[in-house]
Structure 1
């Protein structure tokens, strides 16, 4: 039986909504902790909660939360994909979970699915209090490697111009210009190609998810460097990826640049399939669970 407790913590003064998951109601029973985060523009009830429940069933304390500006969390400028704010939230979550009686003397890891992997990498480079890092289908990009997703230089320039215009609207009127987070065929949307995960209510198109992105996000997303931080990370790391997942060469590059103990597990499957499809999640868990046992319960 799982026990799920809603909690509130703070990051840079902003209240964030979190959830602790444990397989015991004994608040003094120590367990290692795994914080779990998901893809860009998502909420804790999507892929993070699925992996968190699997981890809690395996005897870890798992923790998920909504980033500032998303879901049930506070935060000015809603639906704003701003990497530095999310990086700060990852660090705050790592500090927060260390304050409980059941985490004293225990190690804390972070499992990141998709885009939050590159944010976690940057948080680790900045000294986040984490003892291990697991990347599942991690999205790692820089300006050059992300551009082809959006039509190359012209597509990037168009989106940056829209972002700058949206930022001016916010600065002058305090209004957020929003576009769909997902809408197949709409090139103004953040994700405009066919993705069943975000279209299907049985998968990711759930009531808790707001299908919007603040358009000023493009400036921060398209220019973010999610690669170079790897050379500053010595935390033990597991990279779980596949050729069918996004930017596989970048995942390999991150692995090669890491300074500490590292493991690479290459699987099969497409990017969003690792978000929730049972056979793909089973494959990821088969790799990461024993690895976490080794890192957190040596």
Structure 2
């Protein structure tokens, strides 16, 4: 009888030890954030997004916008995750006419609509009980920087912004990407005709986002093509509804833009993160940074990382987010 009681006691002790070990292991494996699909309105369009909610919030919230023709599963996803790991509530989404979001004509880049989408994302975040409305920030990647700059000039609720590897839409950049003034004129002429055709018939002309000059592709770099094309048929297994097309009339808002005019109005704290081989080259971002009138600005220059590394290189993204986090903390008490 004593042997049986001793055996039962040992079993109980072992069970208690195992349960305690499992609980400790579970605590060690606690995820730093939760993510959930959300939707919100931008004008008449319903946009589909992902909201990252940290397990331990730092009280700050960020809305993100990505490269030209992007979907949320691309670059914004890793930035959203990295920010959430640092305690930020972060929102990524498919902009109007792209991915899972509503909007016509499909796959159209509109400066005004992209700006309105950012403002709508702030409306949505401001409606959440968990969000401190005085602690909303903006982060933009690649071409998204141009629309974030416009939104910050129009929406006082965005406290500060960080611009990563910006594809700054500038007349010099337009010529550089299109092989000079003459071809740029041809590109603009075709885009104008496409816009006139849409206005008259409702028919949309499309060009590839990535491809060859002969295809009138927006981006003709082989390296950029190699990065993007697996997304077209989900060959990389990463999801998202990315399509290798953009409406030709979109090129008017892209190649006729002059971001310097918007930067000259900036009054909010602004961080530039760039590198020698990122979009816009090595000199143009520095020139544009110099026209920002506010003294609350910072330029962080990385080495020679190529543009698409800022989209999926996790170590590089964590490094960039480290600077973003430091900047938002430094600017927290400004204004």
What's the TM-score once normalised by structure 2's chain length?
0.81
* RMSD between aligned residues: 2.2
**What is aligned with 2:13?**
none
Offset at residue 103 of structure 1 (A): 0.8
Residue pairs, 1:25-40, within 5 angstroms: 31-40=59-68
Give the alignment partner of residue 293 of structure 2, picking from 259, 262, 277.
Answer: 259
CA contact (8 A) 1:186 1:192 kept: no
**What is aligned with 1:236?**
269
CA deviation string 1:115-151 (max 9, x = no partner): 1111111222223520010011012122233112112
Offset at residue 186 of structure 1 (A): 4.3
Residue pairs, 1:98-109, within 5 angstroms: 98-109=126-137
SS in 2 for 1:77: coil
Instruction: Give the whole-Å Cα distance in 1 for the aligned partners of 2:140 and 2:324.
Output: 11
Instruction: Tell whether 2:149 aligns with 1:92.
Output: no
**What is aligned with 1:8?**
39
SS in 1 for 2:130: helix
CA deviation string 1:55-75 (max 9, x = no partner): 011110000111111111111
Q: Point out the structure with max Rg over C-alpha.
A: 2
CA contact (8 A) 2:72 2:240 kept: no
SS in 1 for 2:68: coil
Give the alignment partner of residue 23 of structure 1, picking from 35, 54, 61.
Answer: 54
CA contact (8 A) 1:91 1:129 kept: no
Instruction: Give the whole-Å Cα distance in 2 for the aligned partners of 1:183 and 1:167.
Output: 22
Give the alignment partner of residue 197 of structure 1, picking from 216, 224, 227.
Answer: 227
Offset at residue 161 of structure 1 (A): 2.1
CA contact (8 A) 1:109 1:131 kept: yes
Offset at residue 265 of structure 1 (A): 0.7
Residue pairs, 1:1-298, within 5 angstroms: 1=31, 2-24=33-55, 31-184=59-212, 186-194=214-222, 195=224, 196-201=226-231, 207-247=240-280, 248-260=282-294, 261-268=296-303, 269-296=305-332
Instruction: Give the whole-Å Cα distance in 2 for the aligned partners of 1:291 and 1:236.
Output: 9
Higher helix share: 2
CA deviation string 1:27-72 (max 9, x = no partner): xx77310111110111111001110011011110000111111111
SS in 2 for 1:111: strand
Offset at residue 271 of structure 1 (A): 1.5
- Which shifted more, 114-123 or 256-265? 256-265
CA contact (8 A) 1:203 1:276 kept: no
- Which shifted more, 206-215 or 238-247? 206-215
Q: 1:186 to 1:41 in 2, by over 3 A?
A: farther
How many residues are treated as equivalent by the alignment?
Answer: 295
Q: Tell me which stretches of 4 or more aligned residues in structure 1 moved more than 6 Å.
A: 202-205
CA deviation string 1:185-208 (max 9, x = no partner): 644111122123213457798552
Instruction: Give the whole-Å Cα distance in 2 for the aligned partners of 1:83 and 1:205.
Output: 27
Q: 1:235 to 1:168 in 2, by over 3 A?
A: same
Q: 1:162 to 1:287 in 2, by over 3 A?
A: same
Q: 1:105 to 1:37 in 2, by over 3 A?
A: closer
What's the TM-score once normalised by structure 1's chain length?
0.91
CA contact (8 A) 1:94 1:128 kept: no
SS in 2 for 1:131: strand
Structure 1 gap ranges (5+): none
Instruction: Give the whole-Å Cα distance in 1 for the aligned partners of 2:58 and 2:302.
Output: 33
